[in-house]
Chains A and B, each alone.
Chain A
């Protein structure tokens, strides 16, 4: 059966990817001037900048597809929490440095595989964005993997904290591989992969890192979700409040 709303589907899909990147960028940006060392301060904000770059491309595309006159700024700053489509993993608080690294490892490993797939998408614009973003994602995965090993296989304290972070964040990774009607239609049209098909490759990326870091790979079980339907943790609202306040207080303001 042909899809009754092909453009709407694509807009929604681009919004999901764009929101993942935007919310991840905002969280990583919280480390500016607060990271454990100067180099890491620069590193995390550089990763944030890459994520923001991908978010701008994806949200601009989503806005064009929607055709309602909303640009990247309108989508980033003028939507409320229930309208965001990011995965819960991206919005979770940073906790400590290890928590941030665990989140980055899991999210970036997924983004890398997804962008790799999307390079061959039947949608040319998504393919072009993915071809650009995947090179940057590879660097993010490397960086997070190096820190995971350093912290996991470091001191007793860094090991304890890294293990706790991995255990806390792991359940939220299941949402990355969850299918719904939209992903099924994207899959049928060759626009995007069936999410579950990426999980083996994702595990093949993160499990060796955890093993080298002497960290236990948590058991699969509880799998919270809802982000793709706009059902978020309370943490997203606080994140959005900080991210959006200036734009909303001064509509149309320019530097």
Chain B
């Protein structure tokens, strides 16, 4: 089966993030664009990294190529762009809901430039309490911090606002 151009974005966008399996690369804001050359039919996928050193990028590239190959477009080009720099503000509403449902507290608004570093309370994704504390500024992946809920006593991951 050869997919139509309108389906391309959906096909690529449905690829799950390898480290946050519950959300797709589209919901995470990693997928920037999908284009198709009207003459050659070559598909170009444009993605942007969350963190510069994110080790998942190679897997994401491979997963995109595999998804397109399975849809009959094996010769796709995957291009990485840095500008504009990815922000957690790009994570979609559905993406935030899925993260929370998986026990990962979604990020608050990214910090704007200003003299005061404002830290907002993070809501526990399990019991909903705002009585939480940060255990470690760095977590299991570059994009997460480790938190703990004082109400239900459970630790949880928090996607850092960037």
Instruction: Report, as a range, how many residues of chain B touch the other chain.
Output: 20 to 34
Q: Bound complex: CA of A43 vs CA of B134, how far in Å?
A: 13
A53 contacts the other chain (CB 8 A): yes
Interface residues of B, Cβ cutoff 8 Å to A:
49, 51-55, 81-86, 111, 117, 135-140, 142, 146, 160, 162
Candidates A47, A129, A138; contact of B82 at CB < 8 Å: A129
**Are the C-beta atoms of B135 and A49 separated by less than 8 Å?**
no
CB within 8 Å for A56 and B136 given contacts A131-B83, A132-B82: no
What total of A-B pairs shows CB separation below 8 Å? 66
On chain B, the residues within 8 Å of A52 by CB distance are: 53
Residue of A nearest to B81 (CB): A128
With a cutoff of 8 Å between Cβ atoms, the chain B residues found around residue A56 in the complex are 52-53
Chain A residues whose C-beta falls within 8 Å of the C-beta of B160 in the assembled complex: 139
Measured CA separation A143–B52 after assembly (Å): 18
Question: How close is A212's CB to chain B, nearest CB, in angstroms?
Answer: 14
Q: Report the count of interface residues on A (CB-CB < 8 A).
A: 26
A139 and B82 contact, Cβ closer than 8 Å, known pairs A49-B51, A49-B55: no
A50 engages B82 (CB within 8 Å): no
Taking A39-B146, A128-B82 as contacts, is the C-beta distance between A53 and B136 under 8 angstroms?
no
- Which of chain B's residues have a CB closer than 8 A to the CB of A138? 111
Interface of B is mostly: loop
Which 8 A-B residue pairs are closest in the complex by CB-CB distance? A53-B53, A53-B52, A39-B136, A128-B83, A49-B53, A43-B138, A128-B82, A46-B138
B139 and chain A: residue at smallest CB distance? A42
Given contacts A39-B135, A53-B53, contact A135 B83 (CB under 8 A): no
Interface: A136 (CB within 8 A): yes
> Complex: how many Å from CA A185 to CA B44?
38
Partner of A51, one of B53, B84, B86, B135: B53
**Please, which residues of chain B bring their CB within 8 A of the CB of A50?**
51-53, 142
Residues in A whose Cβ lies below 8 Å from that of B83: 124, 127-128, 131-132
A142 CA / B55 CA spacing, docked (Å): 23
